[in-house]
A and B are shown apart, each in its own frame.
Chain A
Amino acid sequence: MDKEYVGFAALPNQLHRKSIKKGFDFTLMVAGESGLGKSTLINSLFLTNLYEDRQLPEASARLTQTLTIERRGVEIEEGGIKVKLTLVDTPGFGDSVDCSDCWLPVVRFIEEQFEQYLRDESGLNRKNIQDSRVHCCLYFISPFGRGLRPLDVAFLRAVHEKVNIIPVIGKADALMPRETQALKQKIRDQLKEEEINIYQFPDCDSDEDEDFKRQDAEMKESIPFAVVGSCEVVRDKGTRPVRGRRYSWGTVEVENPHHCDFLNLRRMLVQTHLQDLKEVTHDLLYEGYRARCLQSLARPGARDRASRSKLSRRSTTEIPLPMLPLAETEKLIREKDEELRRMQEMLEKMQAQVQQSQAQGEQSAAL
């Protein structure tokens, strides 16, 4: 036996086996105005039909519709690995005539998941924490506009520090190649101008080969991904069956990299970065939320600082200033106050009882 061989090189295998047993859960949020092909793309990505029971509301119904958050769960198994995928949908977003603040329910939802996790983490039984935090938000941008619209900017600014954003151009078969490039560049410029932080795909290791590095660089340059979704298979005679959309002038192939970035998105989202998205959510975004939350609870002057910092629209991330909406911290403070008060009441009651029994004891002793 080789004395220098300890054996912990088998560790990755052990982790692998453990994670297979445990399964894998992932929460993906899809956002963007209706009609951009979100549902079709999700069905295409995960080869499911998650939206078959969906009822599309008519315009008149949407006149008074407010934004709702819908969750759909699906279990996908592939190669022995079980993935519990939760999809969060935001029907109604961007539909109304007046969309002011229509992103607030989404922000609140994301924060509620963080809050739930924070509570679970601080609780007693931590074995079975359900992670319902949103790991990634696919934001759909219209191919018909001239880049990001005011609503897009407002939404992205509201959520970019709370969730991993992957911007996507929906229904990209509306664009000619030159238009696609121009639109992507415009969106990238706008994201930089508005200081919106989207999910940064990590750099590949320096020891990867040149081909891989080039491919990786190409993929990063194609962000935002211009996608086309389809669950229909086009069978034309003479050509092999492909998933795509058939038009009178030709067929768009979903999995053809010259036609759209679907393959890139699928590769980067599902095949290579699923774990990284979860890690960034936990290590960066959730920790940021947790730090802000606890800081504001701990320091009495924090509330003032919170209100002052809200005035400055762009905050640097050097020192995480408490940027929680006041209602959030208020709620937590109130709850802690409630607990304190209850405990005080109990103490007083106990003290009263003790005094009473002491007095009685003295009385009976006197008698």
Chain B
Amino acid sequence: MSKGLPETRTDAAMSELVPEPRPKPAVPMKPVSINTNLLGYIGIDTIIEQMRKKTMKTGFDFNIMVVGQSGLGKSTLVNTLFKSQVSRKASSWNREEKIPKTVEIKAIGHVIEEGGVKMKLTVIDTPGFGDQINNENCWEPIEKYINEQYEKFLKEEVNIARKKRIPDTRVHCCLYFISPTGHSLRPLDLEFMKHLSKVVNIIPVIAKADTMTLEEKSEFKQRVRKELEVHGIEFYPQKEFDEDLEDKTENDKIRESMPFAVVGSDKEYQVNGKRVLGRKTPWGIIEVENLHHCEFALLRDFVIRTHLQDLKEVTHNIHYETYRAKRLNDNGGLPPVSVDTEGSHDSNP
């Protein structure tokens, strides 16, 4: 074990395993000390600003999938989340399309801009899920789609001449809509989440929650959490991926209040002199962004304002890596694909 290097001491403190003896480097490194009193301002903290500028220039990708029975307000919720008409929402009730006989996967991309930052948002809808009389294995097309995106990414990664930025079509987040029965999860909900929680980040939400009183909501949530725990289903944010204590405390709080009971709307009403998004009923107006009414604001903050990047990272570092490891094991190593000479598509990995 090399001595004198402060890093090894901290390594030993953090891991419980005995650190492996480091091979002696060809050019020995002089001991590095952490210099706490800088003689002047260096400017390394501007790295944050540099990263921000870069992100603003290149923009970033986010792919969100919505799954649930038809009529649970999936499209409306996504439109409300991103404050734009980004989802394939049918013209309400005059829908001429029939419920598809098998689950279809429909991906629609939009570019949204806010504060100079461009986001290429792709909403992946899954019409037909859970709508048939026989819904056996109706999650299979969804699982197939998710794996296909991993495969696409893998093929690009394994190329000899890689694109500057590999287009990322992988599903970063899957919102699963639970019907507000007030009883418990339905067998189909369990089956779906059991199969897909290991493959993609699942965020369960209780749809159309304006039909439950406060007590009913909290009882239902508790029951759902318990059922998921009993079946070993981990929704995002998964406990096993909490990196440090700070993460764990923050995520624990979030996990305790999930699944979020949400209400979506694309209509505005006047309440106390303000225009708010909501639903107007004869007995009152439900305000979507009012935390006393529903947890939409919590969901929005969670998915967009605090955990957007983490969703992408977990998808890349964990789900994708799991897929990749499995593929490499199965094939005994993927041979590199032929050189791809198409123009590169700008996107962040």
Q: Which A residues fall within an 8 A CB radius of B?
A: 34-36, 56-60, 62-63, 95-100, 142-147, 149-151, 154, 171, 173-174, 176-177, 179, 182-183, 185-186, 245-253, 256, 258-259
Closest B residue, CB atoms, query A96: B187
Closest B residue, CB atoms, query A59: B185
Closest A residue, CB atoms, query B283: A250
Please classify the interface of chain B as helix (H, G, I), strand (E, B), loop, or mixed, using the class held by over half of its residues. Answer: loop
Query: Is B279 an interface residue when CB atoms closer than 8 A count as contact?
Result: yes
Given contacts A97-B135, A145-B70, contact A35 B281 (CB under 8 A): no
> B136 near A186 (CB under 8 angstroms)?
no
Give CA–CA (A3, B52) in the complex, Å.
107
Query: Is B183 an interface residue when CB atoms closer than 8 A count as contact?
Result: yes
> A35 near B284 (CB under 8 angstroms)?
no
> A144 near B283 (CB under 8 angstroms)?
no
> B133 near A154 (CB under 8 angstroms)?
yes
> B135 near A98 (CB under 8 angstroms)?
yes
> B227 near A60 (CB under 8 angstroms)?
yes
> A59 near B186 (CB under 8 angstroms)?
yes
Other-chain residue from B230, B231, B282, B292 in contact with A248 (beta carbon distance below 8 A): B292
Query: Is B325 an interface residue when CB atoms closer than 8 A count as contact?
Result: no
Other-chain residue from A145, A146, A171, A183 in contact with B211 (beta carbon distance below 8 A): A171
> B71 near A100 (CB under 8 angstroms)?
no
> B71 near A144 (CB under 8 angstroms)?
yes
Chain A residues with Cβ below 8 Å from B180 are 35, 144, 174
Query: Which residues B77-128 have CB closer than 8 A to chain A?
Result: 92-93, 95, 99
Chain A residues with Cβ below 8 Å from B266 are none
> B183 near A56 (CB under 8 angstroms)?
yes
Chain B residues with Cβ below 8 Å from A146 are 70-71, 93, 95
Query: Is B344 an interface residue when CB atoms closer than 8 A count as contact?
Result: no
* A-B residue pair count with CB separations less than 8 angstroms: 128
> B231 near A60 (CB under 8 angstroms)?
yes
Query: Is B286 an interface residue when CB atoms closer than 8 A count as contact?
Result: yes
A–B pairs, 17, beta carbons within 8 Å:
A35-B180, A35-B181, A56-B183, A59-B184, A59-B185, A60-B187, A60-B231, A97-B188, A97-B191, A99-B134, A144-B71, A147-B93, A173-B210, A185-B93, A246-B213, A249-B281, A249-B287
> B282 near A258 (CB under 8 angstroms)?
yes
- Min C-beta distance of A42 to chain B, whole Å: 16
Query: Is B141 an interface residue when CB atoms closer than 8 A count as contact?
Result: no
Interface membership of chain B positions 251-273, coded 1 if the CB is closer than 8 angstroms to chain A and 0 otherwise? 00000000000000000000000
Given contacts A34-B181, A100-B134, contact A249 B191 (CB under 8 A): no
Give CA–CA (A247, B282) in the complex, Å.
13
Closest B residue, CB atoms, query A250: B284
Closest B residue, CB atoms, query A175: B281
Which of B93, B185, B190, B211 gathers most chain A CB within 10 Å?
B211
Query: Is B280 an interface residue when CB atoms closer than 8 A count as contact?
Result: yes
Give CA–CA (A262, B167) in the complex, Å.
55
Chain B residues with Cβ below 8 Å from A62 are 186-187
Other-chain residue from B132, B208, B284, B293 in contact with A144 (beta carbon distance below 8 A): B208
Chain B residues with Cβ below 8 Å from A183 are 93
Give CA–CA (A173, B293) in the complex, Å.
15
Q: Which B residues fall within an 8 A CB radius of A?
A: 69-73, 92-93, 95, 99, 131-136, 179-191, 207-208, 210-211, 213-214, 223, 227, 230-231, 279-287, 292-293
Give CA–CA (A173, B231) in the complex, Å.
32
> B133 near A63 (CB under 8 angstroms)?
no
> A59 near B187 (CB under 8 angstroms)?
yes
> A149 near B131 (CB under 8 angstroms)?
yes
Which of B70, B71, B73 gathers most chain A CB within 10 Å?
B71
> B92 near A174 (CB under 8 angstroms)?
no
Closest A residue, CB atoms, query B209: A174
Chain A residues with Cβ below 8 Å from B208 are 144, 174
Give CA–CA (A99, B130) in the complex, Å.
11
Give CA–CA (A116, B161) in the complex, Å.
79
> A145 near B69 (CB under 8 angstroms)?
yes
- Min C-beta distance of B81 to chain A, whole Å: 19
Chain B residues with Cβ below 8 Å from A35 are 179-183
Chain B residues with Cβ below 8 Å from A252 are 281, 283
Chain B residues with Cβ below 8 Å from A176 are 279-281
Closest B residue, CB atoms, query A185: B93
- Min C-beta distance of B58 to chain A, whole Å: 40
Give CA–CA (A74, B186) in the complex, Å.
30
> B69 near A182 (CB under 8 angstroms)?
no
- Min C-beta distance of A116 to chain B, whole Å: 30
Give CA–CA (A96, B134) in the complex, Å.
9
Beyond A149-B131, A173-B281, A259-B282: 15 further Cβ-contacts under 8 Å? Answer: A34-B181, A35-B180, A58-B223, A59-B184, A60-B231, A96-B187, A97-B136, A97-B188, A144-B180, A145-B70, A147-B93, A150-B132, A247-B210, A249-B285, A249-B286
> B187 near A253 (CB under 8 angstroms)?
no
Given contacts A97-B187, A174-B210, contact A150 B133 (CB under 8 A): yes
- Min C-beta distance of A66 to chain B, whole Å: 12
> B187 near A144 (CB under 8 angstroms)?
no
Which of B95, B210, B230 gathers most chain A CB within 10 Å?
B210
> A60 near B190 (CB under 8 angstroms)?
yes
Other-chain residue from A145, A150, A247, A256 in contact with B284 (beta carbon distance below 8 A): A247
Give CA–CA (A145, B280) in the complex, Å.
19
Which of B131, B136, B188, B283 gathers most chain A CB within 10 Å?
B283
Give CA–CA (A312, B126) in the complex, Å.
34
Which of A143, A150, A176 gathers most chain B CB within 10 Å?
A176
> B136 near A98 (CB under 8 angstroms)?
yes
Other-chain residue from B187, B213, B282 in contact with A245 (beta carbon distance below 8 A): B213
Give CA–CA (A252, B284) in the complex, Å.
9
Other-chain residue from A56, A144, A247 in contact with B184 (beta carbon distance below 8 A): A56
Other-chain residue from B182, B186, B279, B293 in contact with A95 (beta carbon distance below 8 A): B186
Chain B residues with Cβ below 8 Å from A177 are 281-282
Chain B residues with Cβ below 8 Å from A245 are 213
Chain A residues with Cβ below 8 Å from B211 are 143, 171, 173-174
Give CA–CA (A34, B186) in the complex, Å.
9
Chain B residues with Cβ below 8 Å from A34 are 181, 183
